[in-house]
A and B are shown apart, each in its own frame.
Chain A
Amino acid sequence: MTLWFVFALMTVAAIFAVLWPLGRATPATSGGSEANVYKDQLGEIERDLGSGMIGASEAEAARVEIGRRLLAAVDDEAAAAPKANLRLRRSAAVAALVGLPVMAAAVYLALGSPQLSDVPLAARSRPADVNQPLANLVAQVEAHLEKNPTDGRGWNVLAPVLSRLGRYDDAVRAYRNSITYNGDSSERRADLGEALTGAAGGVVTAEAKAEFERAVAQNAGDPKANYFLGLAAEQDGRKADAASIWRAMLAKAPADAPWRSLVQTSLVRVGAAPAAPALSDDAMAAAKDMSADDRSAMIRGMVDRLATRLKQDGNDVEGWLRLVRAYMVMGERDKAVAARTDARQAVANDAERLRQLNEGLKNLGLDG
């Protein structure tokens, strides 16, 4: 409530500043005038003449010149006599009384956040806000590392968290420090490369690629580094290279490696594996043993579940693409087109997602 009271006081003060001169009777003094300046200049000449700074003839010439100006100025001033214009004064008063508060309220309410109170440092020492435990923890760890920059374990803990929070630039720095103080390892190099890639919005930059190469140099089998090297190849347009890197990974990978499906999906993307509805390996394996009808029923069930989920939460671009792809593979082009329309509606107000979606659709040959 005090806030509104303060606002009201300030508004009154502002209005008063406008009304005050309007309400007063015409002041006796009407400001300075040019004539005063010239009179002063004449006086100055006398002073200079008196102190011997200028000669008599020069003083006379200047006096004549200034005198001429003085006469002109006096003529001008006589012409302009002040007069009161009550109508204008009243409109000005109304503008101040009504216009000023209305305008101030309109602008302020559009921009301000009157419901928020101040949160100075002193008030923040209270227990961490439950809404942001992670962010606050991170801040505490960062503060600790600010003072003890050589604490390698701290960097080790901090880096992946930063990466997950999407603060890739800071994550890059943290991984670099972690490498400095904990020693080099293929995992750390690969993580650093991943953070660099994240910072570049998913593009494997030359810098990131160099890190992955260093990781592979230390451990040829590092899955993350290999995967990203494949991705780099794909982004450079060398799809065959990408496919061969990923195939080699799959060949060497243990059957239960959690990243198999990711690599397989990627292989599909570069066109190196038969296009199939991107279902998880387990599901595919299970489906193999079923009869044809059962299999299609199971796939259909999964596709429907996906469709239902996307109807509720339409932000998942990947999901939409998977759904469209599934319909295409099942030969139901109408449904694919319908899903495309739904997807576009769902992400319409998010330009970035829409762009991703359109790109994905293009790859599926369903753009337009």
Chain B
Amino acid sequence: MTRKQRRLVMIGGSLAVLAVAAALVLNALRDSIVFFSTPSMVAEKHIAAGKRFRLGGLVQPGSLKRGDNLAVTFEVADGSAALPVAYKGILPDLFREGQGVVAEGALDQSGVFRADTVLAKHDETYMPKEVADALKKQGHWKDDYGKPSASAETQQVKGVMR
């Protein structure tokens, strides 16, 4: 093989791998990313049942009900709308009524959000970022959630955890 041919083989091979990777990325971006919504966005957009998304907001005080065998229901609210959520499993340590929460799952036919994951990536004062932004937009932002001390602390926790 001449030098030119060799180089062509190498470049061709690289392009092929890159093309495969690009195809994989595009395919994955289409199928596996999850959008974030708040209860009022859900009400506006009429998200179809079965479509996965992340729901964020505040746990409505007084709405948490524990059923049999670790089944729980609660409502997630963002000040203007509320959405019932059903979950089965152990809630994270930091799950509190009145605090921010992010749940991942999909709506069922009756309009209940069936969560398979309830995220606990925030400490007592820290608000999940998406929830904070959404609440701010609607004017229900509580300032101390974003206080540097609180979020910096969380950051540290994350920073050293990984």
Contacts and interface: CB of A to CB of B under 8 A. Distances in A.
Interface of A: 168-169, 199-201, 203, 205-207, 210
Contacts of B62: 210
Contact of B79 (A168, A200, A201, A206): A206
A203 B79 CA distance: 14
A168 B144 contact: yes
Interface residues of B, number: 13
B143 interface: yes
B140 interface: yes
A200 B61 contact: no
A207 B143 contact: no
A200 B142 contact: yes
A345 to B, nearest CB: 28
Nearest to A235: B139
B144 A206 contact: no
A206 B98 contact: yes
Contacts of B61: 207, 210
A169 B144 contact: yes
Which 10 A-B pairs rank lowest in CB-CB distance, beginning with the nearest?
A207-B98, A199-B144, A200-B142, A205-B142, A201-B143, A210-B61, A200-B143, A169-B144, A200-B144, A169-B125
Interface string B130-153: 000000000010111001001000
Interface string B51-64: 00000001001100
Interface string B97-137: 01000000000000000000000000001000000000000
A199 B142 contact: yes
Contacts of B77: 206
A203 B98 contact: no
Given A201-B144, A207-B61, 4 more contacts: A168-B144, A169-B150, A203-B142, A210-B98
Contact of A203 (B143, B147, B150): B143
Nearest to A214: B61
A206 B143 contact: no
A205 B140 contact: yes
B13 to A, nearest CB: 25
Nearest to B144: A199
14 contacts: A168-B144, A169-B147, A199-B143, A199-B144, A200-B143, A200-B144, A201-B143, A203-B142, A205-B142, A206-B58, A206-B77, A206-B140, A207-B98, A210-B61
Contacts of B79: 206
Contacts of B98: 206-207, 210
A355 to B, nearest CB: 14
Nearest to A205: B142
A210 B63 CA distance: 12
A200 B125 CA distance: 12
Contacts of A168: 144
A130 to B, nearest CB: 28
A203 B144 CA distance: 11
Interface in B52-102: 58, 61-62, 77, 79, 98
Between A199, A200, A206, A210, the greatest number of chain B beta carbons within 10 A of the residue's beta carbon is seen for A206
A13 B61 CA distance: 64
